[in-house]
Amino acid sequence: MNYAQTLDYLYSQLPMFHRIGAAAFVPHLGNTIALCELTGNPQHRFKSVHIAGTNGKGSSSHMIASVLQEAGYKTGLYTSPHLRDFRERIRVNGIMIPEENVTDFVTRYRADFDRIKPSFFEMTVALAFQYFAVQEVDIAVIEVGMGGRFDSTNVIQPELSLITNIGFDHMQFLGDTLEKIAAEKAGIIKPHTPVVISQDQPETREVFRETAAKLESPLYIADTLWDIEATEDEGTRSSLHLRYKEKSTNDWQPLELDLPGLYQLKNIKGVLQSIKVLQELNYRISTTHILAGLKQARKHTGLMGRWQTLQEQPLVICDTGHNEDGIAEILKMIRITPHQQLHWVFGMVNDKETGKVLQMLPKDARYYFCKADIPRGLPAEDLAAQAKTYSLQGDVYATVAQALEAAKQQAAANDLVLVGGSTFVVAEVV
């Protein structure tokens, strides 16, 4: 098989949650364990940091990986989903896995896949672990796909676990309360292994405390340990200008992050505490490494889709925030971004609670309803009909590209065009 045929096999033969939804969910680790045994248990051949959470886990993963790279460590990075290229999921020092490695892996183990019948995600995790082992990375930053307890990545024994925040998402799998969702995310906490919680949330606090105490794992609540604030009202569109300090000191330090979006302030606290824990584990990471790594997080790791500017005049921005918490943060950014009229290119997937998101959206915006080119996408006509019940007005477009083009044509020079509602809508424009 060539690379194109390999991708076709992966997408068409193996269930892929991000495309088809619930049918691809596997509530056990049996397949992943079988694949790891098949490939020589590569997950035991490199050190790792494991990151879960409802929102912010992707940004946090990229920030930590960038700091580790800056400190001179050969760093693997596994994230999901990808936006444009499957290989975005698997990187070493920011460089995507070569096409031939993907093809060789699938060709070598295709008969075993047909026997084990793993999901797309399980197979991709096995590929990532094997690649990191072969590349002899010093450490890999591993982002959970969904949940934690039954996530395919949860076969590693990390140096550190980080849980960013808990919000309502994937409730059909993880539970219908924040406490239940937190319990699933807490499944990545390992015995006698430090765990950092980025945000202190009253509903989930005891879940993490009880789990950490039971496993005798040191617990750090980053919210209670760090102060961070913006030193400009909104930073710039390409970066945030901040200052930070440990709460136990008065030593404020300047910090620049090349990932815009004030929601990153919540993530940075968890990142800073995670780096401090790694320092205490004898990783050679200096303040200089931290500052340089955060200033160049996007450059080092290739992260896209976080309040990312695509065009000026009219200003076109995309953001992958897609659940209630993510949309709430996007709305905050809209309020502090100078503009006259808001034009929103908007699509969702069919297994989200659309009503909870739609009721949050501004009624004075003009909407361009569309469907991402995946089976799981919610038809634009259905989305528009639901939106109308919340007094949201707009037109329906056959594709994301047509919706964006219409928005740009109708927007004035000082208007804001936003692309979002679903990661997969953003994936078609970055």
DSSP labels, 130-160: HHHHHTT-SEEEEE-SSSSTT-TTTT---SE
Tens of pLDDT along 340-390? Answer: 999 999 999 987 779 999 999 999 999 999 999 988 899 999 999 999 999
pLDDT the model gives residue 229: 93
Count of CA atoms in the C-beta half-sphere (13 A) of 87: 16
DSSP 258-300: SS--TTHHHHHHHHHHHHHHHHHTT----HHHHHHHHHTHHHH
Q: At what angle do helices 120-134 and 99-116 cross, to 10 degrees?
A: 130
pLDDT the model gives residue 16: 52
pLDDT the model gives residue 18: 47
What are the sequence ranges of the domains in the chain? 3-301, 308-426
Tell me how many helices (H) and strands (E) the chain has: 17, 17
Q: What is the mean pLDDT of residues 295-305?
A: 95
Q: What is the mean pLDDT of residues 2-13?
A: 89
Q: Which helix (H) or strand (E) holds 204?
A: none
DSSP 339-381: -SSEEEEE--BTTS-HHHHHTTS-TTSEEEE---SSTTBPPHH
Residue 390 and residue 358: Cα distance in Å, rounded?
7
Kindly list the distances between the CA atom of residue 206 and the CA atoms of 133, 201, 279, 288, 421, in Å, as whole numbers in the listed order.
Answer: 36, 9, 27, 35, 32
* pLDDT bucket at 427, cuts 50 / 70 / 90: very high
With respect to CATH, is domain 308-426 assigned 3.90.190.20? yes
All residues at 6 or more sequence positions from 381 whose CB lies less than 8 Å from its CB, including other chains = 369, 396
Q: Is the dihedral of CA 120, 10, 108, 50 positive or negative?
A: negative
Neighbours of 84 (CB within 10 A): 12
pLDDT the model gives residue 353: 78
Q: What is the mean pLDDT of residues 246-257?
A: 95
* pLDDT bucket at 24, cuts 50 / 70 / 90: very low
DSSP 51-107: EE-SSSHHHHHHHHHHHHHHTT--EEEE-S--SS-GGGGEEETTEEPPHHHHHHHHH
Cα angle: 418, vertex 201, 280; to 5 degrees: 100
Average pLDDT of every residue of the chain: 92
Taking the whole predicted model, whether its pTM rises above 0.85 is answered as yes
CATH architecture of 3-301: 3-Layer(aba) Sandwich (3.40)
Q: Is the dihedral of CA 390, 392, 398, 399 positive or negative?
A: negative
Tens of pLDDT along 312-330? Answer: 999 999 999 988 889 999 9
Which bin fits 331, alpha (ψ -120 to 50), beta or left (φ > 0)?
A: alpha
- Statement: residue 250 has pLDDT above 90: yes
Any idea what DSSP says for residue 337?
A: S
pLDDT the model gives residue 6: 95
Identify any residues that bridge with 96 across adjacent strands, giving them in sequence order.
Answer: 91
- Statement: residue 286 has pLDDT above 50: yes
Residue 36 and residue 134: Cα distance in Å, rounded?
14
pLDDT the model gives residue 294: 98
Q: Which helix (H) or strand (E) holds 420?
A: strand 416-420
pLDDT the model gives residue 235: 44
- Statement: residue 82 has pLDDT above 60: yes
pLDDT the model gives residue 143: 97
Identify any residues that bridge with 227 across adjacent strands, giving them in sequence order.
Answer: 245
Residue 294 and residue 58: Cα distance in Å, rounded?
14
Tens of pLDDT along 195-237? Answer: 999 999 898 999 999 999 999 999 999 999 999 999 875 545 6
User: What are the tokens at 409?
Assistant: 């044509």
Kindly list the distances between the CA atom of residue 27 and the CA atoms of 24, 115, 352, 354, 402, in Å, as whole numbers in the listed order.
Answer: 10, 19, 19, 25, 38
pLDDT the model gives residue 20: 45
Residue 119 and residue 28: Cα distance in Å, rounded?
11
